[in-house]
Amino acid sequence: MHPMDEETRKPIRVLAVDDDPVALVLYDRVLGGRVDLETHSTAESALESFLARRADVLLLDWLLPGMDGVELAARIRELPDTEDIQILIVTGRNEADNLQQALNSGANDYLEKPVFPEQLRVRLEISIRNLELRNRKKESERKGALMLQVFDNSLDGIVITDRENCIIYTNEAFSRITGYSADEALGQTPAFLSSGFHSDAFYRQLWEAIVNRGSWKGEIWNKRKSGDIYPEWLEISTVRNEEKEITHYIAHFSDISQKKQNEEQLRYLASYDTLTGLPNRSHFMEILERSLMRARESGERGSILFLDLDRFQVINDTLSHGSGDLLLRQVSERLRGLVGATDTLSRTGGDEFAILIETLTGVDHPIQIVESVMEEFNRPFQIEGQEIYVSASVGICIFPDDASDGDTLLRNVDMAMYRAKETGRNTYHFYSPEINTRAFEHLALEASLRRAIERREFLLHFQPLLDAKGKRTVACEALVRWEHPELGMVSPARFIPMAEETGLIVPMGRIILEMACSAFVELKQLSIAPDYICVNVSARQFFQDGFLEMLDEVLQSTGMSSENLELELTESVFIQDVNLTLELLNALRSRNVRLAIDDFGTGFSSLSYLKRFPVDTLKIDQSFVRDIHKSEDDMAIVRAIIALAHVMRLTIVAEGVETEEQSGILEREGCDILQGYLYSRPLPLPDFHAFLTQATFR
C-alpha cells in the first residue's frame, strides 16, 4: 500500500463515516498511522469537515441517522473539483440490491459489511492507486500545457518534428520570424525554409552531428516566406524513447540578422578602402570565398583579374605629394566603369586592384574585360594639368580550376601578374599554362577576330569552277582567308565556326561580300570575268535581320549585277523555319541572284524536300567525290544525286576533284561543273587574274 501521495508527499486524507463506533475502531486500527484518517459518526459532521478541509478518500456507511452515505456522496459530487475523490460506500446485506443507486450517486466502489481488515486494506489500496493515476495524468497534462505556454511565449522560434522530421509543432516566434503560420508549416519538413545557401555536405554534417551526438548548433541561413534570406542561430536536439530511438527533434532558433547588421556596420569601416571607397583586401577575400562556394555548388566558373600598375613608384616619386592618391582614385573610377553589377572591384593593396567576375559567360569573358582595361590605360590620366600615361600588368585566374580556396587563388593570380610583368608589362597572363597555350589561343583568336573585322585583315582567294566538257572557267568561288599579324594565315575552318558562334559572322559576311563583288567587277572590267562568282553565306548570316538590305547595299555600292552572283547556302538553312527560308529565297530569286546548296549530302535534307525551294545549283560534297573511284556506295549516291538533280533542272557541281580518275567518272556520270585542286587551288586575286588570262589564251 502506498500511504503517501508520492507526488506531493502529503499523506492521503481519508474521511470515514459510520454510526457504529466498532466500525470506526476497526478503520482506525487498520488504516491509522498509514493515512491521515478522520472518523465521523454522522454525515453532517463529515460534510462540515470536508468543506473545511478536503479529503482524498471517503469511506461512507450507507445507513446513517439523518443524511445517509449515498446522499452525502451525491452532495460531495455536486461540489466543484471533486471528480477525483474516491468514494467507497459501505453497505449492509439488505442494501446490496440497490448498489446501482449507490454508484449513481457518485460512489466509485463499495464494501459489504461485515468489513474484513484485509478487504478494507485492498479496496483502499485500489482507490489510492486510482487516485494516483489520475493525479499523475493531470500533472503531466498540466506540465504539458505549461510547457506549451512556455514554448508559445518564447522569443526563440521553436519547431518540433517527429521521427520522420515532419513538423508537428511551431510556436508564435517561429511564425513571427519566418512569416509562415503554424498551419502552413505543419506536416512539412523544415527543408522548406532552406535558403539554398548551404551545400548538401553542410546539411549532411548537420544531420550526422544530430544523430551521433544528439545535437547540433550553429549559424544557418534560412529563407522567410517573403523570400528574404536571413541568418539564424539554430540548436537542434533529439528526444529519445526508452529504447533509445529518436522520437522527436526539437529545433530552436533566433533571428540574428539585426545582430549581423550591427556587426556589418562595424565591419564596413574595416572592409573598405578610404581612398577609393572600394572593398579592401580582407573584404575581397570574403567575397571571393563566397563566390568560390557558390561556384563549387553551381558548377559554374568565375575569374579573378589581378592588376598592378606598371612603374607606379616612379610616377609617385616624380609627382608632388598627394598626386599619387589622385591617380589611384582616377584609376579606380575608370575600372569601376568596366565592372559588371555582380562583379567586384577591390583595391587589394597600394597600386593593386582585383576584379572578381562571379560567373563567366564564356571563355573570352576575362579577355574582353582585360582588353577594355587595357584600352582605358591607353588614354592618359590628367594629374595637375599634366597628361600621364600609366599601364598595368594583369594576371588572370579561372576558378575553381586554378585553385579551390581564396588564398591559393590570390597567390596564383599574383604569380600570373608577375609573369605578365616579366613578359614586358602592359600585358596579361593566365595562371593556367594550359589556358595560356591552347585555350588562350582560342580566346585571343576571338579577341583578335574582333580586331580583324575593324582592321579588315581578311582577303579572298578565288577558286575556278570549270564546265565538265570544255573545261572552261564558268565561275569562281570566293574563299575567305585571314592574315593574322602574328599567327599568319588562319584557316576559315577554324574561325568561321567561331565567327558564327559569336555573331561576328554578320559584319564579317558583309566585308566578304563587298570584297567578292568588287573583285568580280574588277575582272569584268578587264573582260576576263567568268559568268558568275560564288560566295558562301552561313546560316546565321542568312537569317540575320537586314540580310536582304545588306545585300542590296553591297550590290549597289560595288556596281555588281545580281545575276553574276551565286550565294552558297548549306543544307542547314533549309531545315530551319521553312516559311522564312522560302520568303528569303524568293526575295533573292526576284533579284536574279543565283542560289546553290553547298556540301550537299552531309545534311539531313532529301532532294524531294528541296524541290520546294527555288535553287539553281547543287554542290555535291567533297566527301563523296574523294572516294568515288573506290567506293561503290559513294558512286551510287553521286549517280542518284545527279539523276534526280537533272530531273529538277539543277546544275550539278562536284567539288574537291583532285585526280583525273575522279574527273573522268564525274564527267561520265553527267556532272556539269567541276572544282578542285586538279584544276587550281584557291588563288589570291593577282594569281587568279593570271589563271584566267592563261585560260583565256589556252
Point out which residues bind Ca ion (CB under 5 A).
536, 568, 598-599
Considering CB distances under 5 to 8 angstroms, the limit depending on partner class, which of ligand C2E, Ca ion, none binds residue 676? ligand C2E
- Segment holding 493, helix H or strand E: helix 492-502
Considering CB distances under 5 to 8 angstroms, the limit depending on partner class, which of Ca ion, ligand C2E, none binds residue 171? none
Give the residue, chosen from 47, 305, 496, 555, that forms a contact with ligand C2E under the rule CB under 6 A: 496
For residues 513 and 531, what is the distance between their CA atoms, to the nearest angstrom? 17
Contacts (Cβ under 8 Å, ≥6 apart) of 234: 216, 217, 218, 219, 220, 251, 252, 253
- Cα(first)–Cα(last) distance of the chain, in Å? 135
Instruction: With contacts defined by CB under 6 A, name the span among 106-114, 550-558, 605-613, 650-658 that binds ligand C2E.
Output: 650-658
Q: Of 60, 54, 56, whose CA–CA distance to 5 is shortest?
A: 56
Residue 78: how many CB atoms within 10 A of its CB?
Answer: 9
* Cβ 537 to Ca ion shortest distance, Å: 9
Considering CB distances under 5 to 8 angstroms, the limit depending on partner class, which of Ca ion, ligand C2E, none binds residue 512? ligand C2E
* Cβ 496 to ligand C2E shortest distance, Å: 5
630: left (phi over 0), alpha (psi -120 to 50) or beta: alpha
Residue 366 in contact with ligand C2E, rule: CB under 6 A? no
Asked if residue 114 has a cis previous peptide bond (ω within 30° of 0), the answer is yes
Per-residue cell: 347: 583595391
DSSP 8-state assignment for residue 116: P
* Cβ 491 to ligand C2E shortest distance, Å: 5
Task: For residue 555, report the phi and psi dihedrals to the nearest 5 degrees.
Answer: -60, -45
Is the Cα torsion angle 637, 640, 644, 646 positive or negative in sign?
A: positive
Q: Specify the residue, 41 or 536, whose C-beta has the smaller distance to Ca ion.
A: 536
> At which residue does the C-alpha cell 568561321 appear?
496
Q: Specify the residue, 283 or 540, whose C-beta has the smaller distance to Ca ion.
A: 540
Question: Per-residue string for binding with ligand C2E, 537-566, x by CB under 6 A?
Answer: xx----------------------------
Q: Specify the residue, 118 or 454, whose C-beta has the smaller distance to ligand C2E.
A: 454
Residue positions counted in the chain: 698
Per-residue cell: 53: 478541509
Residues in contact with ligand C2E, counted by CB under 6 A, come to a total of 22
CA angle 2/5/10 to nearest 5° reads: 125
Across 438-472, b (16+ Cβ under 10 Å) vs e yields eebeebbbbebbbebbeeebbebbbbbbbbbeeee
For residue 176, the SS3 value is helix
* Cβ 480 to ligand C2E shortest distance, Å: 4
Considering CB distances under 5 to 8 angstroms, the limit depending on partner class, which of ligand C2E, Ca ion, none binds residue 479? ligand C2E
Q: Specify the residue, 163 or 450, whose C-beta has the smaller distance to ligand C2E.
A: 450
Closest chain position to ligand C2E (CB): 676
Considering CB distances under 5 to 8 angstroms, the limit depending on partner class, which of ligand C2E, Ca ion, none binds residue 492? ligand C2E
Instruction: With contacts defined by CB under 6 A, name the span among 238-246, 378-386, 400-408, 655-663 that binds ligand C2E.
Output: 655-663
Written as one string, the DSSP assignment of 49-76 is: HHHHS--SEEEEES--SSS-HHHHHHHH
Q: Specify the residue, 412 or 536, whose C-beta has the smaller distance to ligand C2E.
A: 536
Q: Under rule CB under 6 A, which residues in 613-632 are in contact with ligand C2E? A: 622
Give the residue, chosen from 656, 663, 672, 683, that forms a contact with ligand C2E under the rule CB under 6 A: 656
- Segment holding 223, helix H or strand E: strand 215-223
Q: Under rule CB under 6 A, which residues in 64-103 are in contact with ligand C2E? A: none
Give the residue, chosen from 39, 473, 536, 617, that forms a contact with ligand C2E under the rule CB under 6 A: 536
Q: Specify the residue, 438 or 681, whose C-beta has the smaller distance to ligand C2E.
A: 681
Q: Specify the residue, 115 or 499, whose C-beta has the smaller distance to ligand C2E.
A: 499
Q: How far is CA 65 from the centre of its chain?
A: 89
Q: Helix 440-455 and helix 365-378: axis angle, to 10°?
A: 50
Residue 598 in contact with ligand C2E, rule: CB under 6 A? yes
Across 662-697, b (16+ Cβ under 10 Å) vs e yields bbebbbebebbbbbbebbbebbebeebbebbeebee
Residue 463 in contact with ligand C2E, rule: CB under 6 A? yes
Q: Specify the residue, 468 or 653, whose C-beta has the smaller distance to Ca ion.
A: 653
Q: Specify the residue, 302 or 530, whose C-beta has the smaller distance to ligand C2E.
A: 530
Instruction: With contacts defined by CB under 6 A, name the span among 157-165, 394-402, 442-450, 676-684 that binds ligand C2E.
Output: 676-684
Q: Under rule CB under 6 A, which residues in 476-495 are in contact with ligand C2E? A: 478-480, 491-493
* Cβ 293 to Ca ion shortest distance, Å: 49
Considering CB distances under 5 to 8 angstroms, the limit depending on partner class, which of ligand C2E, Ca ion, none binds residue 672? none
Q: Specify the residue, 41 or 536, whose C-beta has the smaller distance to ligand C2E.
A: 536
For residues 153 and 216, what is the distance between their CA atoms, to the nearest angstrom? 23
* Cβ 471 to Ca ion shortest distance, Å: 20
Binding stretches for ligand C2E (CB under 6 A): 463, 478-480, 491-493, 496, 512, 536-538, 598-599, 622, 655-658, 676-677, 682
